[in-house]
Chains A and B, each alone.
Chain A
């Protein structure tokens, strides 16, 4: 019964709050998104918060997470997940409101929402998956695209400017939880998720976690896990230092 076996294997690799019947998921093989989601799920399991989570997912590859968990979940519009979660949390102070957004959604089209939620110290957790480009729409330039990276809308190489968001958030909100993690260091990422969730669970206000994540499809490293890992650890993590801010 190889199928049953694989379900069992999937179950043991997944947090309890993950939905089994929406697996295997629809992300590309080797994608970082599921790694981020798993870290979140394990943290939720450990803290026993599953029933109180309102999970908002953005349009971008994050939307593929719309049925990843047994959480009450809403898929919003591109860049608009932060305000939906802000409005929801104001309406229901018991909710643990988590916005799950790509770097384009968070730092380009939704930048005004993100910055102002941080300034207002809104009691939500925003998780931003930083893969250095717009993945879902085929690899266009994002505010996180590395200088010189050749992407669809910067075929001769992106310019030298890019955003360091946690650093900015820290600047506008000294009380917020602010950190940057990376998919390749799971125990650390899980701990960051837990601390971020605890921050909003304790009503301490805005929590912000950027996660450096791989997009093998648009990084054109699909055929080599080593190449993906090299870009992630040696290029991405170099440009965007991980840690707490």
Chain B
């Protein structure tokens, strides 16, 4: 049964992981994400958690947590981590390995100010890192929720996306959402007709449902049989450039197929609006309010998946626009993606409102809209 609860964002995420039937978490404390781990430690240590075999391990650092997470996924666990800022930086090493081998690691990332240790509440400065942080081509799915309710909805969804498509999948929140208190509707996914995608070990699984050959890029996998038993050997160090090209091509083909099904956006306001605001995450929540209260031809385009980016939908949404406003709590991270998507598509001016690590209020966006309308 669904129920309304008054909860903090981080606890909402902990509960989302439970509702998604996640069963392992590896992490390292960092504000503003720590309460996710506290919640999980409580769950795993409880009698029910014991009975269900929930795993929890606090690692020695985020590099350790990221690689333990990989170990958990290799063992077939619906495993996740939660981190932020400098911890998110350290996890890129493991995330790159997960990208290479198509390991569906899940991370809740609650952005904090940057660069460096900085502040812990408001920021959207980890967009580029979350989407493209590895030493490769950004083969990871990134969802950006904008409300407490969406923390639950997408906190649940990331696990299904990860295991259905076998890509690293992240939820990108921020300190403000993490610490915000509010009413949230929690539900059992079954009630909503949401199926939980099954997991499967990569190693030590002798009866496979899904052939590893359909998941892991071919140069990285050797499967052999001895005495009728299958043994899988996985590698990520390759000998030849051609093999690396093949790895990337195979991942890209799977990515393109997945992207069509996974890509998501929200549009609010008048269709074919003359002024279109583009914002994501918590800033989109402020923009939504501003757009709803604005008079005139105004709309909000909000990418829900930052990667894959809803390029086609954005192009359609600004087709009638005379002005575009990009607002984000960072310098040009969402902005770069928007301009990349619109390059050669539109001839209209773009107002870029960048406030790294500062909150952006509905009134500020309302002002921007007014200015734009006036110009």
Q: Which residues of A pack against B, CB within 8 Å?
A: 17, 19, 21, 51-52, 54, 59, 63, 66-67, 69-77, 80, 83-92, 94-95, 112-113, 115-116
Contact = CB atoms under 8 A, between A and B. Distances in A.
Contacts of A51: 206, 229
A42 B123 CA distance: 55
Given A70-B231, A72-B204, A94-B204, A88 B57 contact: no
B244 to A, nearest CB: 15
Top-8 shortest CB links A-B: A87-B71, A91-B75, A87-B68, A88-B71, A116-B60, A83-B67, A92-B75, A72-B203
A161 B61 CA distance: 26
Given A77-B97, A83-B64, A95 B234 contact: no
Nearest to A59: B237
Contact of B68 (A21, A70, A72, A90): A90
Contacts, number: 138
Given A52-B204, A95-B204, A66 B63 contact: no
B196 to A, nearest CB: 17
Contact of A83 (B59, B231, B232, B237): B59
B234 A88 contact: no
Nearest to A124: B71
Interface in B21-57: 24, 26, 55, 57
A83 B71 contact: yes
Contacts of A87: 24, 26, 57, 67-72, 74-75, 79
A54 B203 contact: yes
Nearest to A92: B75
B72 A75 contact: no
A70 B226 contact: yes
Contacts of A71: 231, 233
Contacts of A17: 226
Interface string B70-85: 1111111101000000
A18 B24 CA distance: 33
A121 B226 CA distance: 33
Contacts of B234: 66, 73-75
A112 B201 contact: no
Best-buried of B69, B204, B235 by chain A (most CB within 10 Å): B204
B237 A75 contact: yes
Contacts of A116: 59-60, 64
Nearest to B229: A51
Interface string B204-242: 101000000000000000101010010111111100000
B71 A91 contact: yes
A193 to B, nearest CB: 19
B5 to A, nearest CB: 30
Contact of B201 (A80, A85, A92): A92
A72 B232 contact: yes
Given A63-B235, A83-B64, A88 B74 contact: yes
A83 B105 CA distance: 15
Contact of A88 (B60, B75, B206): B75
Contacts of B61: 112
